[in-house]
Amino acid sequence: MKKIVIIILLFTSTINLRAQHPWMIKDINATSTSTFPSPVGNNSSDPVNPYSLGGKSFLVNGVAVFSANDGINGDGLWRSDGTAAGTYLLQLFASVNHAVTSMYETEGLLYFTVYVTDITSPKECTLWRTDGTVAGTFQILSNQKHTISQGLCQKYYSNSAAALGNYFYFMVTDTLPDVVVNGNNWPNIHDRVYKTDGTLGGTTVYYDPPGARYNGYQSYNNPVLSDIHQINSSGSNLYIIEDVTTFKNFDSFGLFPQLLLRSDGISQPITIFAPQVGASGGSSGMYLTSTADVNGNYLLINGTISDQAGLFRLYSNETAPIWIDTSSVLLNLTRQTNGIFNPAIGNRFFYRAASGKLKVTDGTIAGTYNFEEPGTGDLFYLGGIANNKILVSNITNSFFWDGASPTSYVKLDSIVSAFDALHVFQANNKLFYLGNLTDKIAWTSELDGSNFLRVFYYYGIPGGALTPNGYIVQLGTGGQNNFDAGNEPGIFKTNFKIFTGNVSNDWATANNWSPAGVPGAADDVVIPALNAAKFPIISRAAACNNLTLCNGLLTITGANLNINGNVANYLSTITGTGSVTFKSTTGAKISGNAFLDVANVYINGTDVGFGTKSATFNSVVTFQTDNKILAPYTSTFFLKPPFIAGYNAKRFVVTNKDLIYYNAGSATTTDSIFTMPIGNSNTSYTPVSFVDSNDSNGIVYLSVA
């Protein structure tokens, strides 16, 4: 075999071509490999933690809101409706050292904190709000005379905020007014509860507990010390757990006795429960670690009350918590969810006990019991609620459980990897599952669990926002997604047609698809992992918009498939004696395994680009219109002579990488003349022609530098 090496030096230019699946919505940061700000705090590996958004998206008024960095101006607040035009900056903060650190979704508004991340700067944190518009995004509380927690608005972690009706209640530590207590130089710095309707004028002190916050073992006439321990709401009530003591009853372990207060959010809260404090101070009174609202039906309280440890219930008309589970809860009640959802269905709440057992309660002792699936171990991950069932996973299996009885569960298909910690959501009459730990894989199924199929690898960051256009997440680099510029906003389309092969392998049979119906030019299509007998075959003219293959095979025999969008090809093949025509009006991108093994590929009315470092055509590629193959960062391989046809000064390959022809000279009995139609920009056509004789299968490399 002979090898011809042609090296052509060209002046290079940058062409920003990115491709990703799920489909990247917009390349916010094209300057580096990171879009999101560096997490603040020590828990940066956790996708949801008190100190960093970690790539989560939040929903407000039908759009996703998230924090991102354009690589030039620093951190800002962005929004997206799932389209490039609808993805834009809402607010750029004062300096590159500012970062959004937590968000809290309420009805119609999203509250968030902005924190100064520079370790050399004063630690400032301010409170903001947004309704998803530029005009509706502004600061409502400054850091002047206020100390605001970074994680204040981390809904599933913070114990310092709650929503009730049209108001948001939150805790700050401030010095309003600037006075001292008892005239003994004890500064009036302590926790207060504020309320806001989302406006500057509507942000005021709601509850000002007596006394000053504890600040060292100093006694000035035995002052009252106070601290807001938790805020939550349930039904029509606001609950406040307050630490309050004097030095006379401050216990030797540093624990404050606690009071439980309740209000309607308008009137001042009143104490409804104050357990008797014994000789050991707070430890014999009440010490609560977390609370959870169960869909407005009752409040769950985890902790110790009068030396009884475990889980307690409080109905709206009760004044004393009722002990319903003597096994203490393993984690903060809100952290049972990993920040993804509230694990409640109706009046049932799902949680893990200290033993690791998955449990459920309906607020009564009789209605509190364990999940009893034999032989699966005790470590469970709560993955979301869909179709009125909770998805739970352990080290071997995943299940849907409605909590009606210890055994009222359904086991998911065994295709789910062990301990994959699935997250589920429901959209367009389907269930969608995202793997979080071992496998970055997405599945889908019907609402009853049938047609459980793998649909794509996603390399996404857990925690998205389900908008009307799809599930918007932050995409990560790695694996088969080489060209995204860091963690960019991307969308899981939830209204695609998926091939099931339930009737046959014929693409043109309506009942082979879910939802039923043969795809048209506007339909996104997924070919999932199926057994060999079910892989689709196209034998007559066909069309689709975006095409995704995941561990699948698509065969085209003597027909043509018009692709009006992009192609995401994961460990799959498009093959056969037929052809593919790219006809997108906005540019077609091929990501994943950029390999086509059909007789002909036609470029008609669109530029074709790649999201991978290499692309291979075992097909003759023919330009039918004045368009380009955009491969500035991609080495392109052509295996079938005459390789590229229909080229001219307006139809060529734009590349700064390698162009490789295999099997040159093998198709004829005389010397073959081939042309490599290239240019290093859209306007610099610099073709290279060569002769390769038929005495061997030539491999021709054109290296562009």
The whole-number average pLDDT for the span 61-68 is: 92
Q: Is the pLDDT of residue 36 over 60?
A: no
Q: pLDDT value at position 86?
A: 96
Full 3-state SS string of 495-532? CCEEECCCCCCECCCHHHEECCCCCCCCCCEEECCCCH
Mean pLDDT of all residues belonging to the chain: 81
pLDDT for 233:
95
List pLDDT tens digits, range 589-608: 888 778 899 999 999 999 99
Rounded to an integer, the average pLDDT of 326-339 is: 59
Summarize pLDDT for 505-515 with one digit per residue, the tens: 999 999 999 99
Lowest mean pLDDT among 88-102, 185-199, 654-668: 654-668
What proportion of the chain, given as a percentage, has pLDDT over 70?
A: 74
Tokens of 579: 């052809």
Per cent of the chain over pLDDT 90 is: 44
What band does 416 get if pLDDT is binned at 50, 70 and 90?
low
Ranges 287-301, 360-374, 425-439, 657-671: which has the least confidence: 657-671
The model's confidence at residue 374, banded by pLDDT at 50, 70 and 90, is: low
User: Alpha-carbon distance 360 to 350, whole Å?
Assistant: 4
Average pLDDT of the residues in 565-570: 89
pTM for the whole thing? Answer: 0.84
Residue whose pair of structure tokens reads 């077609």 in the numeric block: 588
* Predicted pLDDT at 35: 57
Query: SS3 string of 225-275?
Result: EEEEEEEEEECCEEEEEEEEECCCCCCCCCCCCEEEEEECCCCCCEEEECC
Interval 57-80 mean pLDDT: 88
190 confidence band (pLDDT: 50, 70, 90)? confident
Judge residue 287's burial from the number of C-beta atoms within 10 Å of its C-beta, 0-12 exposed, 13-18 middle, 19 or more buried. Answer: buried
Residue 68 is predicted with a pLDDT of 85
Q: Which is higher by pLDDT, 48 or 337? A: 337
- Residue 96 carries which DSSP code? T
Whether residue 467 is predicted with pLDDT greater than 90 in this model: the reply is: yes
Q: What's the CA gap between 24 and 459, in Å, rounded?
A: 12
Q: Is-contact 241 249, C-beta < 8 A?
A: no
Adjacency order of strands within the sheet including 125-130: 98-105, 110-116, 125-130, 138-141
Nearest residue to 551 (alpha-carbon basis) of 415, 689, 420: 415
Q: What is the pLDDT of residue 223?
A: 52
Which range is least confidently modeled, 297-306, 554-563, 617-626? Answer: 297-306
User: Is residue 280 over pLDDT 90?
Assistant: no
Burial 252-283 (b: 16+ CB within 10 A, else e): eeebbbbbbbbbebeeebeebbebebeeebbb
Top pLDDT among 407 and 16 is at 407
Q: Does the pLDDT at position 546 exceed 80?
A: yes
Q: What is the pLDDT, as a whole number, of residue 8? A: 47
Confidence at residue 80, expressed as pLDDT on a 0 to 100 scale: 96
Indicate if the pLDDT at residue 220 is higher than 50.
Answer: no
pLDDT at 257 over 50: yes
Mean pLDDT for 255-267 is 86
Does the pLDDT of residue 222 top 70, yes or no?
no
Say if residue 1's pLDDT is above 60: no
Mean pLDDT, residues 14-36:
59
Structure confidence at residue 601 (pLDDT): 98
- Cβ atoms of residues 656 and 632 within 8 Å: yes
Q: Please choose, from the candidates 165, 29, 161, 164, the residue with its C-alpha nearest in 3D space to the C-alpha of residue 103.
A: 161
Contacts of 702 (CB under 8 A, 6+ apart): 6, 7, 8, 658, 659, 660, 676, 678, 688
Task: Take residue 605 and report the two structure tokens written for it.
Answer: 């009315």
Say how far apart CA 99 and CA 352 lie, in whole Å. Answer: 33
- Categorize the per-residue pLDDT at 47 as very low, low, confident or very high, splitting at 50, 70 and 90: very low
Q: State the pLDDT confidence band at 693, using cuts at 50, 70 and 90.
A: low
pLDDT of residue 7: 52
Dump the DSSP string for 568-584: EEES-EEESSSEEEE--
pLDDT value for 703? 78
How far is the C-alpha of 186 from the C-alpha of 572, rounded, in Å?
71
Name the DSSP letter for residue 321: -
- Secondary structure of residue 408 in the 3-state scheme: coil
d(CA 540, CA 557): 8
Give the per-residue pLDDT at 303. 86
| Buried b or exposed e, range 628-652, using 16+ CB within 10 angstroms | bbbbbbbbbbbbbbbbbeebeeebb
